[in-house]
Structure 1
Amino acid sequence: MGGPLPLGDPAPADGRFPAGLLVDPAVPFSAYLHVPFCRVRCGYCDFNTYTATELRGARQDQYADTLIREIELARDVLDQVGGVRPMDTVFFGGGTPTLLPAGDLARMLQAATDAFGIRDGAEVTVEANPDTVTPQVVQTLLEAGVTRMSIGMQSAVPHVLAALDRTHDPENVTTAVRFAREAGLDVSVDLIYGAPGESLADWERSLDAALALEPDHISAYALIIEDGTKLARQIRRGEVPAPDDDLQADMYELADRRLADAGFDWYEVSNWARAGGHESRHNLAYWRGSDWWGFGPGAHSHVAGLRWWNVKHPAAYAQRLSLGESPAAGRERPDEQARTLERVLLRSRLADGLDIEDIAETHRERVAELISDGLVDAASALRDRRVRLTLRGRLLADAVVRALTE
Structure 2
Amino acid sequence: MHRIKYLALFISVAIVFFISCNKNEEEDYTYSISKVWWTDSIDANLDKYATSKRLNINVRIQENVSRKINARIFCKPHDASSFTFYSFMGERDVQGGDIDNHLSIAIGNPNKELSRGLYDFKIEIYEVSADRVEAFVGPEENSLLINQRFEESSNDKNYSIQVLWKDKRDRNANGYWQYARLNINVDVDAAMQKSVKAKLYYKSSSESNYKLYYEFPVFQIYGQEVQDTISYMIGSQSIELLSGTYDFRIELYESSSNIMVALADETTPELNDVKFEAEKDDEYYYTISNISWSDRIDLDADTYTQFRRLNFKVDVDKNNERTIFAKIYYRHPDSTDYSKYDSTANFKITGNSATNVKFVNIGLSAIQLDSAKYDFLISIYEPTDSDVEAFQISSGSTVDTLLAKQRFELPSRDIKK
**TM surpasses 0.5:** no
User: Which has the larger share of strand?
Assistant: 2
TM-score band by shorter chain is: under 0.3
Name the larger-Rg structure: 2
What TM-score comes out, normalization by structure 1 length? 0.20
The structure with higher relative contact order (CA 8 Å, sep 6+) is 1
| Higher helix fraction (1 or 2) | 1
TM-score using structure 2 length: 0.20
